[in-house]
């Protein structure tokens, strides 16, 4: 039997995502009530600009006092889509203290303070759900946290930022340079006026921290994630990738060490074989590849941003926390029992593609090969071309640690025959 008294929802933020959440709550009210077992009612909307016209939202629900809204005491669930660290953090903990569960899309806050927020939720017997914080509409957090709870996840490899994927895909398919591709992404609305958070990897790093923590049952903070942006990727890098049968993607990579004693989390551009499923993820789409012991290889694919896709994930969480509220229960909280150390980037082992500008004369290749050997880095393939006294030397290594490769490159720069290091890129997905 359906309960007639509605569950009350407070909405913090009414921008692109928040307005879509409100719209779906209204237009799909009957379906949501049937799925939950009780009606859901939008009880208040906290905004910064109350005079802005918001289609479909009763102006009487709009307030600038978010704190008073979450303190009301009759709110069953709070949806936080304002972003940033403060006041979001204080509002969420205040909501817990006053009896509300929380659904958030705030990747930066969850990555930085997820442990403290989970502790606050547990203290007050409330839920904290954040499917929308990673990869938009793609169901990913719940499968990792619940569907694979009986399995052992060893690796999560993914494209988790639509802006960077659009730019790199344009560079690959049209031959555009970085700035040209960025300008196109901005014109189409895929990139912000200030794209730093996307192109420098900050957005993806926050998502990597969240994914690693859930996958490996270990607290992984944003500061634990190695981050490199993709602004230095060039058309020449794509040409080299094509010669190797690869393309280039900005990847979030979370791995369990081979001995199982530690984990790593990193974000950086990488070459991946065209045969890998992630190589065919186009435009602004996201995709995440999960490798586990029992389930094997799984791939999650879909739109990773935008009002409707993100709102879909928010509403999925809202249904879950409202069901829990009716049942007097809470869903899964933080699982950090493994408490594995997070290894520094220097210990990460992978393949590398190094492009060198060298003098075009006998003995150069032997000198370069000797440097690699002295640092314990094994060479897989070498390609050399040049004329008029200048040459390009491309070296692809077998798997080596980041620290060993760093020492190798430092030594190469000291050779008289090496004019410069044109690019260094990791090779993943093999």
Whole-angstrom distance, CA of residue 336 vs CA of residue 177: 43
What are the two backbone dihedrals, phi and then psi, of residue 389, each rounded to the nearest 5 degrees?
85, -5
pLDDT of residue 175 exceeding 80, the answer is: yes
Strands 418-427 and 226-227: unpaired
288-328 pLDDT per residue, tens: 999 999 999 999 999 887 889 999 999 999 999 999 999 99
* DSSP-H helix ranges across 176-275: 178-187, 196-199, 202-216, 235-243
Average pLDDT score over residue span 193-220: 97
- How many Å from the N-terminal Cα to the C-terminal Cα in the chain? 53
Stretch (H or E) spanning 12: strand 7-12
Residue 304 has a pLDDT of 81
Whole-angstrom distance, CA of residue 10 vs CA of residue 42: 6
Stretch (H or E) spanning 27: helix 16-27
DSSP states of 329-346: --------TT---B--GG
Whole-angstrom distance, CA of residue 289 vs CA of residue 333: 24
Closest CA to 351 of 395, 291, 411: 395
Is the link from the previous residue into 87 a cis peptide, with omega within 30 of 0? Answer: yes
Whole-angstrom distance, CA of residue 272 vs CA of residue 351: 11
Average pLDDT score over residue span 92-106: 98
The answer to whether 207 is a known catalytic residue is: yes
* DSSP-H helix ranges across 234-384: 235-243, 307-327, 364-374
- Using CA atoms, how far residue 235 sits from 198, 261, 397, in Å, is 20, 39, 21
Residue 352 has a pLDDT of 97
What are the two backbone dihedrals, phi and then psi, of residue 202, each rounded to the nearest 5 degrees?
-65, -45
Residue 106 has a pLDDT of 97
364-417 pLDDT per residue, tens: 999 999 999 999 999 999 998 876 667 899 999 999 999 999 999 999 999 999
pLDDT interval class at 3 (50, 70, 90): confident
Average pLDDT score over residue span 208-235: 97
Whole-angstrom distance, CA of residue 222 vs CA of residue 110: 9
Residue 425 has a pLDDT of 96
Closest CA to 132 of 80, 89, 202, 190: 80
Residue 360 has a pLDDT of 87
The torsion angle over the Cα atoms of residues 191, 195, 200 and 202, rounded to 10 degrees, is: -90
What is the share, in percent, of the chain residues with pLDDT greater than 70?
A: 99
Active-site option among 8, 71, 152, 207: 207
Closest CA to 428 of 241, 259, 198: 241
Indicate the average pLDDT of the chain.
95
The torsion angle over the Cα atoms of residues 383, 387, 388 and 391, rounded to 10 degrees, is: -20
């Amino acid at each position: 039997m359906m309960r007639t008294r509605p569950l009350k929802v407070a909405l913090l933020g009414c921008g692109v995502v928040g307005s879509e959440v409100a719209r779906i709550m209204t237009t799909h009210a009957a379906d949501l009530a049937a799925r939950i077992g009780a009606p859901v009612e939008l009880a208040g909307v906290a905004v910064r600009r109350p005079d802005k016209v918001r289609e479909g939202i009763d102006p009487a629900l709009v307030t600038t006092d978010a704190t008073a809204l979450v303190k009301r005491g009759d709110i069953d669930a709070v949806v936080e889509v304002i972003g940033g660290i403060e006041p979001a953090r204080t509002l969420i903990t205040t909501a817990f203290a006053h009896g509300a569960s929380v659904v958030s899309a705030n990747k930066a806050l969850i990555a930085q303070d997820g442990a403290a927020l989970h502790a606050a939720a547990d203290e007050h017997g409330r839920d904290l759900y954040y499917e929308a914080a990673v990869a938009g509409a793609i169901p990913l957090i719940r499968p990792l946290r619940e569907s694979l709870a009986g399995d052992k996840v060893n690796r999560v490899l993914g494209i988790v930022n639509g802006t960077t994927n659009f730019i790199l895909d344009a560079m690959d398919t049209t031959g555009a340079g970085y700035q040209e591709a960025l300008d196109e992404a901005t014109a189409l609305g895929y990139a912000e006026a200030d794209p730093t958070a996307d192109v420098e990897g900050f957005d993806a790093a926050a998502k990597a921290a969240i994914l690693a923590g859930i996958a490996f049952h270990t607290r992984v903070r944003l500061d634990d994630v190695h981050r490199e942006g993709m602004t230095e990727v060039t058309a020449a890098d794509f040409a080299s990738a094509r010669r190797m049968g690869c393309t280039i993607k900005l990847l979030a990579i979370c791995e369990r060490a081979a001995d199982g004693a530690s984990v790593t989390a990193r974000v950086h551009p990488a070459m991946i074989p065209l045969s890998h499923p992630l190589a065919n993820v186009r435009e602004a789409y996201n995709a995440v590849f999960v490798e586990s012991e029992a389930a094997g290889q799984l791939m999650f694919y879909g739109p990773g941003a935008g009002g409707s896709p993100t709102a879909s994930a928010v509403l999925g969480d809202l249904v879950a926390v409202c069901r829990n509220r009716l049942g007097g229960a809470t869903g899964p909280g933080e699982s950090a029992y493994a408490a594995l150390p997070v290894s520094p980037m220097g210990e990460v082992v992978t393949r590398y593609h190094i492009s060198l500008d060298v003098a075009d004369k006998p003995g150069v290749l032997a000198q370069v090969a000797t440097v690699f050997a002295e640092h314990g880095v094994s060479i897989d393939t070498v390609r050399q071309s040049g004329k008029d006294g200048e040459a390009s030397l491309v070296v692809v290594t077998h798997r080596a640690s980041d620290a060993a490769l760093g020492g190798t490159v430092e030594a190469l720069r000291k050779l008289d025959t090496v004019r410069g290091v044109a690019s260094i890129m990791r090779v993943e997905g093999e």
